[in-house]
Amino acid sequence: MHHIHSFVLRNRKLNQKKQEIFKKLWPYFGLNFVNNPISIKEIFHNTYPVILEIGFGSGKLLIQTAKKNTKKNILGIEVYKKGIFSCFIQAEKENIKNLKIIYYDAISVLKLMIPNNSLSVIQIFFPDPWHKRKHHKRRMIKKIFLEILLKKLRNKGIIHIMTDCSSYANHIINNISLINDQKSYFPFLNNYIKLISNQLISKFESRAINKKNSIFQFFVQKNM
């Protein structure tokens, strides 16, 4: 899996002014990639539960989550610098203290940087569905990826996945069915297990609702 990436990098450079702001805010919200397990306690200076969001886009939902859950640590992974810049601006404006962002590929971060049994929730909302059949191999949600996620969760921790692509939903169902029995699987659950305060709505979810697309939700709980 070391050669598989969770996203295809299509980075666009920030202009000089934004780049300067990015560098200024990085020490407050950024977390450099390292190839060894980090200490969550040392990074956040507490032992609160950790919510990880993979691929947070502009960061609007991530900021809302951090703002409404001050007794939880919020960790985001993103490869789009413009989205991280937007998230930094919002975080500074809202005076967010419980947020850290990693600017790197999620597969590498999870395998090398995130300790096992350290996360309470992992959120993956509207990952790239790669609609064309020839591109399906690029879809992030695979059996091996789900198994990595489960290793990173604490006991009773939850993976929460959302998509509005029906073919991807079927793909997710098939791959969840392949992982071992150390899980509980709740497809299309209406009452989200309330590890966070209220379920917030992302930009992509709002877009799907406006288009009247079906939204498929998946919850996989780690049971050791």
Is residue 149 within 8 Å of 135, Cβ to Cβ?
Answer: no
181 flagged as catalytic:
no
Q: Which of 105, 128, 164, 181 is the catalytic position? A: 128
Residues forming the active site: 128
